[in-house]
Structure 1
Amino acid sequence: MSGIYFHIPFCKQACYYCDFHFSTSFKKKGDLIAALLMELNLRKNELKNETIETIYFGGGTPSVLSIQELRSLIEAVYDHYPVSNSPEITLEANPDDMVISNALDSLKYQDYKDLGINRLSIGIQSFFEDDLKRMNRSHSAEDAKNCLSEATKYFDNISIDLIYGIPNMDVEKWNRNLDMAFDFGIKHISSYALTIEPKTALDHFIKKGKYPSLNDNLTLQHFNHLVERVNNEGFIHYEISNFGKPNYFSKHNTGYWQGKSYLGFGPSAHSFQGNQRTWNISNNAKYIQAIQNETLPKTIENLTMTDHFNEYIMTGLRTVWGVSLDKIENEFGKAYLNHLKTRSKKFIDRDLLIISTDYSERNSHNGILKTTPKGKFLVDGMASDLFMLP
């Protein structure tokens, strides 16, 4: 399995917490689409022997693209790559782009389906107006509800994003956010803690005392409540920030976590193939100019065995599948296995990690290293402590 990712670097306005690459100016949107089509052509010989199973439009805000722009990109993928008979095609969307105000708007959902898009990932973040304003989201609480009311008529496979750890959001209010998600019959939730990224507006506001500081204890309460609620609703906590009903996991993102190859197109987009990772320049104008000159504006990183080991530890511990100690021994060797066993012992002793002896999922004699419920919230810090240093 391989995947294709398109980074659509346009947003109507900047969310205070966001550090992704995007522009609020749409002047170069047409040139950017043309450049994406050219990049697809320039890279048509990559992944020649693999079938594309997933196509993902991320950003930015891909829902600002017209139906024709989306069609041109999807058709180009089919023109240049072997695509499976039933690929997962995901469109990230903001609620304000999906609100139905007239008959033409309602056709958009059917148009998406006709293009082959079969999964929507909608950036709700919160169903409450004060939270959305505090984050400088472009949609309203009413937009969020109206969007889901309409989207669920056309799509069964819908994921929504929700943010927890927002200052002044108590557990009861967080619980009401979850209630609304469940009431709409949503089958996949991606939920992230509000974090302070350097040089974002949120970082600036907190340093200037214009925004409340984040409360780690409140964030942990929200996370624990989230895990309890989704489990009770029949969701599987298959990745630290992702919860899905059976058969509704994100195939595209699962490919990332399981080390599958993927190609990323557009400014700032990353790609991964074998022992090489590349990423495009994070500048729209420079990206467009380079592509017009038939040059790929990318940086290349050749991955060592230690890089692969560390990435497997990071991604494996974040997922329900854990880290196979057999895989560590077979693919990396005894030295890496002994390192991992030694470094993980202190976390096992504190009931933060466990070596599972349930072999029903895979044939294993060494066991599978996983987080315990107590350790899930601390997984990133533990993973980095388990890394092998170069």
Structure 2
Amino acid sequence: MSGIYIHIPFCKQACHYCDFHFSTSMKKKDEMVLALAKEIAMRKNEFELLDSARSDNQIETIYFGGGTPSVLQIADLRFLIETVYANYKVSENPEITLEANPDDLTTLSVRAESRTILEDYRSIGINRLSIGIQSFFEDDLKMMNRAHNSEEAKKCLEIATKYFDNISLDLIYGIPDSSQNGEQAKQMSNEKWKQNIETALSFGIPHISSYALTVEPKTALNKLIQAGKIAAPKDEVAQEHFAILVEMLEANGFIHYELSNFGKPDYFSKNNSAYWLGKKYIGIGPSAHSYDGISRSWNVSNNALYLKSIENNKLPNETEILSVADRYNEYIMTGLRTIWGVSLDRIQTEFGQGYLDYLSKQAQKFLNDDLLFIENNILKPTKKGKFLTDGIASDLFYLNLE
């Protein structure tokens, strides 16, 4: 067994680009923490029942995502971690990650004025931070409606690096310049993007996750673009920024181990790597997804319905049994996004000769165009093909579902 993901569905304010499930109302926070703990306990035997022959089903990672997990009190986080330990076999040194916003990390502990919140996090077992910086520029942060400012972005990293070695930060590229509106609006310049990366590198952070700004249909960002108040992101600008990102981070000792993730040796995200490698995981909380190797399930994306269901001792989820084609498609998608690639031997062994023949036929045009290559019977994207990975993968999907 791989890990447990715990979704904390609360945020101080809504970022304009975000389409994850969250609420800006904290009224049900205490009730939600109790419900999360109850769901953790309710699901303690799931994987053992599916794989009773194995005796090594252990929790290797605990990941607090959201939303904004750093809005919880130390006592809440400690309670949830202790609940996991009380109900599951946990490995000796699990990776315990907390997603956090910069403004939360610059506050002092409630226990003592001289004690930082980071010391409290470390004291309850959290050993990895994932910090949502997104940009070090004030205009970008205002355009995205982030809760922190540029000064807090830098200050939190100065403090965090004193207490944590294993830190990841998020950066967004391809951001429109909000200083001008409508058709006259500019995109983030290459120089500005380079400054963002250089600032991140100056703190000695060992892991960086970076994503192109995308416009989701029901977000505030989409409405602002439609109203002409913000320019739409341009794919060609994002592609330039991606190339700059890869070049600068690899020159500084980072390994580009997944399309959007870069880590120094020994600092890859164990939680996310487990997802990409097809390991099992349980998702706790509203909207959280789970995977057991055979099926995928997801909890209802509604706080009130989630709380009511847990109160009635019912899991508020839906389940989909994955077909062979589903599992093949997922492997193609995750494999091409990572340094581990797609093993042609595994395709033949796990899915059969028919799938291998299909993949070989579909991949040929990308091999000819130098977007894919095969090394040691592993299919991988070339440097030129990396930015196009998701589109390439979709062309390799097996669509004749069984």
TM-score by length of 1: 0.96
Correspondence for 2:120? 111
Contact 2:107 2:116 in 1 (8 A): no
Q: Is structure 2 residue 247 aligned with structure 1 residue 237?
A: no
Mapped to 2, the partners of 1:300 and 1:333 lie a distance apart of: 26
The C-alpha deviation readout for 1:21-48, integer Å capped at 9, x for no partner, is 0000000001100101111121111223
Contact 1:163 1:192 in 2 (8 A): yes
Mapped to 2, the partners of 1:170 and 1:274 lie a distance apart of: 43
Contact 1:100 1:147 in 2 (8 A): no
Q: Is structure 2 residue 352 aligned with structure 1 residue 352?
A: no
Q: Map 1:125-164; keep pairs closer than 5 Å.
A: 125-164=134-173
Residue 199 of structure 2: which of 163, 176, 180 is its match? 180
Given the superposition, is the C-alpha separation of residues 12 and 383 from structure 1 closer, same or farther in structure 2, using an over 3 Å criterion? Answer: same
Contact 2:166 2:206 in 1 (8 A): yes
Q: Is structure 2 residue 14 aligned with structure 1 residue 25?
A: no
The offset of 1:106, in angstroms, is 3.6
The offset of 1:104, in angstroms, is 3.3
Q: Map 1:331-346; keep pairs closer than 5 Å.
A: 331-346=350-365
Mapped to 1, the partners of 2:341 and 2:232 lie a distance apart of: 33
Q: Is structure 2 residue 25 aligned with structure 1 residue 6?
A: no
Q: Is structure 2 residue 388 aligned with structure 1 residue 378?
A: yes
Correspondence for 2:106? 99
Give SS of 1:4's match. strand
Mapped to 2, the partners of 1:241 and 1:275 lie a distance apart of: 27
The C-alpha deviation readout for 1:358-381, integer Å capped at 9, x for no partner, is xxxxxxxxx000000000010001
Q: Is structure 2 residue 89 aligned with structure 1 residue 82?
A: yes
Correspondence for 2:181? none
Correspondence for 1:57? 64
Correspondence for 2:185? none
Mapped to 2, the partners of 1:289 and 1:338 lie a distance apart of: 49
Mapped to 1, the partners of 2:90 and 2:108 lie a distance apart of: 35
The C-alpha deviation readout for 1:118-174, integer Å capped at 9, x for no partner, is 000000000010000010000000001110000000000000000000013101111
Give SS of 1:104's match. coil
Tell me which amino acid in the other structure corresponds to 1:264: G
Mapped to 1, the partners of 2:309 and 2:364 lie a distance apart of: 49
Give SS of 2:46's match. coil
Mapped to 1, the partners of 2:38 and 2:245 lie a distance apart of: 43
Contact 1:100 1:106 in 2 (8 A): no
The C-alpha deviation readout for 1:277-315, integer Å capped at 9, x for no partner, is 100000001000000000101000000111100000000
The offset of 1:382, in angstroms, is 0.6
Contact 1:99 1:105 in 2 (8 A): no
Tell me which amino acid in the other structure corresponds to 1:24: T
Contact 2:22 2:66 in 1 (8 A): yes
Give SS of 2:140's match. helix
Mapped to 1, the partners of 2:105 and 2:274 lie a distance apart of: 28
Identity %: 62
Tell me which amino acid in the other structure corresponds to 1:206: I
Tell me which amino acid in the other structure corresponds to 2:275: Y
Mapped to 1, the partners of 2:381 and 2:261 lie a distance apart of: 15
The offset of 1:101, in angstroms, is 5.7
The offset of 1:182, in angstroms, is 0.7
Mapped to 2, the partners of 1:274 and 1:373 lie a distance apart of: 31
The offset of 1:327, in angstroms, is 0.2
Gaps of 5+ in 2: 49-54, 178-187
The offset of 1:229, in angstroms, is 0.2
Residue 278 of structure 1: which of 287, 290, 297 is its match? 297
Gaps of 5+ in 1: 358-366
Aligned length: 381
Give SS of 1:47's match. helix
The C-alpha deviation readout for 1:247-271, integer Å capped at 9, x for no partner, is 0000000000000000000000000
The C-alpha deviation readout for 1:204-256, integer Å capped at 9, x for no partner, is 11111111111111111100000000000000000000000000000000000
Tell me which amino acid in the other structure corresponds to 1:76: T
Given the superposition, is the C-alpha separation of residues 133 and 142 from structure 1 closer, same or farther in structure 2, using an over 3 Å criterion? Answer: same
Contact 2:259 2:338 in 1 (8 A): yes
Mapped to 2, the partners of 1:277 and 1:162 lie a distance apart of: 29
CA RMSD of aligned residues (A): 1.0
TM-score by length of 2: 0.93
Correspondence for 2:214? 195
Tell me which amino acid in the other structure corresponds to 2:74: I
Tell me which amino acid in the other structure corresponds to 2:378: I
Tell me which amino acid in the other structure corresponds to 1:260: K
Contact 1:100 1:150 in 2 (8 A): no
Contact 2:10 2:67 in 1 (8 A): yes
Give SS of 1:124's match. strand
Tell me which amino acid in the other structure corresponds to 2:390: D
